[in-house]
Amino acid sequence: MRMVKAFSIASMLILSFGAAAGQLITKPSQHDVKSTMDRLESIVKGKGMTVFARIDHRANAAKVNEKMPRAEVLIFGNPRMGTRIMLRDTRAGLDLPVRVLVYQDYDGKAWITYHNPQELKQTYREEGCMAIDKMEKALQTITDAAAH
């Protein structure tokens, strides 16, 4: 019985992880990871948004004697917009503020990836939330500008 239960839980985790991967928007960058991330951070700050953190996964991996291609995450947001979304369903705070990953693949190409904001409407009680539509447009504009 325990083995069946463990298998069921593992299956659910794999299925939910696979579903989450389909919710990503990924686009190529014309720049390397550092330049793309610098551009992204500059654009975000220029639009008056708050940058909460910039995480360098490669540097953190090096601290534990591991090697990996460059990968950085920028965590940022607009507290006014995020608060409007969370007032409708506080659980949206699990996905806010926004996180954008800029990484290098094993061929040396830089990519930008982030969760599709429209998924918030399905995951939380956010149908008809105009702030999510605005967030989607802003992320598209910001990441396109950082990539080109």
Nearest by Cα to 118 from 101, 147, 95? 95
Q: Of 87, 140, 118, 112, whose CA–CA distance to 27 is shortest? A: 112
**Residue 19 located in a structural domain:** no
Q: In the prediction, which pLDDT does 42 show?
A: 98
Instruction: Name the E strands within the chain.
Output: 24-28, 50-56, 71-77, 98-104, 110-115
- CATH code for the domain of 129: 3.30.310.70
Residue 95 within any structural domain of the chain: yes
> Long-range contacts made by residues 2-9, C-beta under 8 angstroms, separation at least 24?
none
Q: Note whether residue 88 is domain-resident.
A: yes
* pLDDT classification of 129: cutoffs 50, 70, 90: confident
Confidence of residue 122 (pLDDT cuts 50, 70, 90): confident
| pLDDT tens digits for range 31-58 | 999 999 999 999 999 999 999 999 999 9
Q: What would the pLDDT profile of 51-73 be if each residue is shown by its tens digit? A: 999 999 999 999 999 999 999 99
14 inside domain:
no
pLDDT at 2 over 50: no
At 18, the pLDDT band (50, 70, 90 cuts) reads very low
Tell me: pLDDT of 6 over 50: no
| Domain count within the chain | 1
Domain that holds residue 58: 24-147
pLDDT averaged over every residue in the chain? 86
pTM: 0.82
Give mean pLDDT, residues 102-119: 95
Residue 125, domain member (yes or no) = yes
